[in-house]
Structures are given as C-alpha cells and as structure tokens.
Amino acid sequence: MASDKAIGEFSLKSITATIIPGPGGSQLSQVNSEGTGTGFGASFLTTTFVGGGKDGTFSLKWVSYLDTGDGLTGSGQGTYESIGKNRWRTVNVAEVSDGHRIRAEGEIDLAARSWKGTLFEG
C-alpha cells in the first residue's frame, strides 16, 4: 500500500525532446531531463509521454549517481493531466534497483521546462 510519508523532493530540467510516431497513429514525446532528488544525487531520466496536450500516460527510466559514488537505476509508470496553461500534474510509481518503490507527485511547467515535486515511500 502506498504511503503518505514524504521522503524528499525532486527537481528536474528538460534538456531535449524527441517526437516520434506511436502505435495507431499516435505521437510519443521522449523527454530527456536532468536534476536531483533527495537521496538520489545527480539524476538523468528519459520519460516517454503518450497522449495529447490535456492528459495521458508516461513511462520513465533513470540513472542516479549518489554522493557515495554508487549508482541506482529505476523505472516507472504514471499519468499526467493538464492543470492550466502549460502545466501538467503528474503521479507515478517506480521501482528502484535497490529493491524499494517510490511514488512521486509533481508538476511539469512546460514553458519553463521544469518538473518538480515530492517523493513518497512506495
């Protein structure tokens, strides 16, 4: 069961976006981001968004480099929905290579190319 206990925050900046054809004539947007997350150090993500400008789903893969020099990887799935002009609310759950799960709730500011939010226990 998901927890409401916040374990930290994340802050990402979009670096590149690639728009490619998806199944059934859909469009996929692959966005590469970098930033930090509490307990994750420097992180690099590729997120693939499926859907339109108002709502849809996404998957993500990432690698993080901890302050100890160790690395973690992860992957997850989530949803997004428009909450105003150039803003999306996101919710996702992810599996981390060290065996734990995290949930993230955030907001993407498309114009500023930023994605910020809160991390929760599994």
**Which of 83, 96, 88, 94 is closest to 115 using CA atoms?**
88
User: How far apart, in whole angstroms, are the C-alpha atoms of residue 35 and residue 17?
Assistant: 16
Q: Which pLDDT score is estimated for 2?
A: 56
Note the pLDDT tens digit of each residue in 36-75. Answer: 999 999 999 999 999 877 899 999 999 999 989 899 999 9
Q: Which pLDDT score is estimated for 89?
A: 98
Note the pLDDT tens digit of each residue in 12-25. Answer: 999 999 999 988 88
Structure pTM?
0.92
Q: Which pLDDT score is estimated for 122?
A: 78
